[in-house]
A and B are shown apart, each in its own frame.
Chain A
Amino acid sequence: MQIKRNMTVTKFIIFVVLNTAFLTGNAFADNTILVQSTTSTKNSGLYDHILPLVKQDTGVTVNIVAVGTGAAIKNAMNCDGDVLLVHSRKREDQFVASGYSKKRYDVMYNDFIIVGPNDDPAGIAKMNDAVAALKKIAATKSKFASRGDDSGTHGKERSLWKRTGVNQDASSGSWYLETGSSMGATLNTAVGTEAYTLSDRSSWEVHANKSDFKIMVQGDKRLFNPYGVMLIDPVRCPSVNSNGGKAFIDWLISEKGQKAIARFKVAGKQMFYPNAQ
């Protein structure tokens, strides 16, 4: 009995200590929401630009978890978050169709690009046909670094390979390198191994470790990169802060929010183009 009571006391102490030690970090207050998002939007600095404005206009504090689109969607399906902001149109529609959210809203878009080393072993510089460029990379067995992490960018890359008819997976480990990592880590790998890679424009622009890498391919319609935002269904996930989430989404698609997104620049260049309906 004595031991049992001691155990309860210990558990109680642990609980109290755990919960009092971080009074400052009260993550789940009423006016706080958690957004499951992609690394591209986070690393670009977009959130640093707009979140203070969101706070000012709506009073909502927004916390961002930045992971790949695949992971973000899975976390959202586990109810770990209030809002989902990602870039993989097909899977976003699936997310809504499966009842995890009532509606998807367009927010903004930019585009994907293929970057590569300056000496361009595949000879794809200044091309604007992404599929033809990938075919040349495969034909010359030039190295290509793939995200390989089920992210939105990875999905786009795979859909492009599909159109080439090349079975790139058969060369995984030789010239086709699957990093299984974030965009930034994959860019580091590409730079380190002189490999081409597909990146969203904002991740590339903010990436500091560019070495002699340049944008090789851009301007293909198939490289369109739209971002969508969804409130995680509060019926399915009762923990969702729907007032806070709604306020954040309404702000993003409002004229003010859209203008703020358009105003965000990296090195003088606009990174995201608003397209809310």
Chain B
Amino acid sequence: MSIYSDSLAAAFGLLATADSDLMEILYLSINVSLLSLVLSCAIGLPIGAILAIRQFHGRDTLVGIFNALMGLPPVVVGLLVYLHLSRSGPFGWLGLLYTPQAMVIAQMILITPIIIALSCQVLEDMHEGYKDFFDSLVVPKRTALVAYIIDARYSLMTVILAGFGRAVSEVGAVIIVGGNIDHLTRVMTTAIALETSKGELELALALGFVLLSISLAVNFLAQWLKASAKRRAYV
């Protein structure tokens, strides 16, 4: 299949020459995805922690809902955000439709449930393992939670990476609320959709390889952090 080699070559060419359009798109992609990830973690990790260690009425229902929301179709999220941010919608006065901010909001809605559901599961497992032990020592819940987080840090990092992967790869939501506007809201995935629709399949696939390599780079970085942290721990 020469399409692979041609596209790979094109991808390397684009990266090697630091094609200015590509760099702009890449920068926005990473910027939008990272910002939605940071905000989603700020909201999602505390909620996940509370759900993991507190027992209250309706807690299981909530966990079930967040688990189900991990499968939110991006295009539905895009549509909902569009309807709310549209000038004729309730938040139209903010003027956020067709801006990177709108894309961040859509991605936050997509990935916050992932952060909540997965971090809750990770911390709940820790809690079940240590609960009796900590209770016997009368360790306060807050201190116990800190211990869980430190102990489960690598699992939580995987949770965050899953969120990033979802954010950087989805197209359905950002193309509706961002509008795929050149030099303003065009990101990697919407650019791939555009090139595909222009029949520029080789270029589209090349952009796909670039996006994939970003994901790989982020994950290798995480692996490296983990490995070097472990090395230091055993010195």
Contacts and interface: CB of A to CB of B under 8 A. Distances in A.
B197 interface: yes
B98 A182 contact: no
B212 interface: no
A209 B205 CA distance: 13
Contact of B95 (A28, A78, A185, A187): A28
A267 interface: no
A185 B193 CA distance: 9
B197 A182 contact: yes
A25 B197 contact: no
B98 A27 contact: yes
The range of chain B's interface size is 20 to 34
Interface string B180-219: 1110110000000010111111000000000000000000
B14 to A, nearest CB: 16
B100 A39 contact: no
A80 B87 contact: yes
B196 A14 contact: no
Contacts of B86: 75, 78-80
Given A188-B196, A239-B87, A209 B101 contact: no
Nearest to A204: B199
A233 to B, nearest CB: 13
A237 interface: yes
A253 B58 CA distance: 63
Interface in A173-205: 181-185, 187-188, 191
Q: Which secondary structure dominates chain A's binding surface?
A: mixed
A208 interface: yes
Interface stretch (A59-67, A156-164, A219-227): A59-67
Contact of B88 (A25, A28, A79, A210): A79
B95 A43 contact: no
B104 A18 contact: yes
Contacts of B92: 79, 239
Interface string B2-14: 0000000000000
A79 B124 CA distance: 47
Contacts of B184: 25, 27, 63
Given A25-B99, A65-B98, A65-B181, A208 B39 contact: no
A207 interface: yes
Given A188-B196, A208-B200, A208-B201, A22 B100 contact: yes
B199 A207 contact: yes
A43 B197 contact: yes
B31 A21 contact: yes
Nearest to B185: A25
A237 B199 CA distance: 37
B35 interface: yes
Contact of B182 (A64, A182, A185): A64
Contacts of B199: 184, 187-188, 191, 207-210
Contacts of B35: 17-18, 21
Contact of B98 (A34, A39, A191): A34
A14 B39 CA distance: 7
B198 A65 contact: no
Contacts of B201: 188, 208-209
Contact of A27 (B89, B99, B182): B99
Contacts of B87: 78-80, 237, 239
Interface in A113-146: none
Nearest to B201: A209
Contacts of B105: 18
A110 B99 CA distance: 32
Interface string B93-125: 001011111001100000000000000000000
A172 interface: no
Contacts of A187: 199
Given A66-B180, A184-B198, A206-B198, A10 B42 contact: yes
A254 interface: no
A243 interface: no
B179 interface: yes
B95 A25 contact: no
Contacts of A17: 35, 39
A7 B199 CA distance: 48
Interface of B: 31, 35, 39, 42-43, 86-89, 92, 95, 97-101, 104-105, 179-182, 184-185, 194, 196-201
Given A18-B35, A28-B99, A188-B201, 15 more contacts: A10-B43, A21-B100, A22-B101, A25-B100, A25-B185, A27-B95, A28-B95, A80-B88, A80-B98, A181-B197, A184-B196, A187-B199, A188-B197, A209-B201, A210-B199
8 contacts: A18-B104, A19-B101, A27-B184, A43-B197, A43-B198, A63-B179, A188-B197, A208-B201
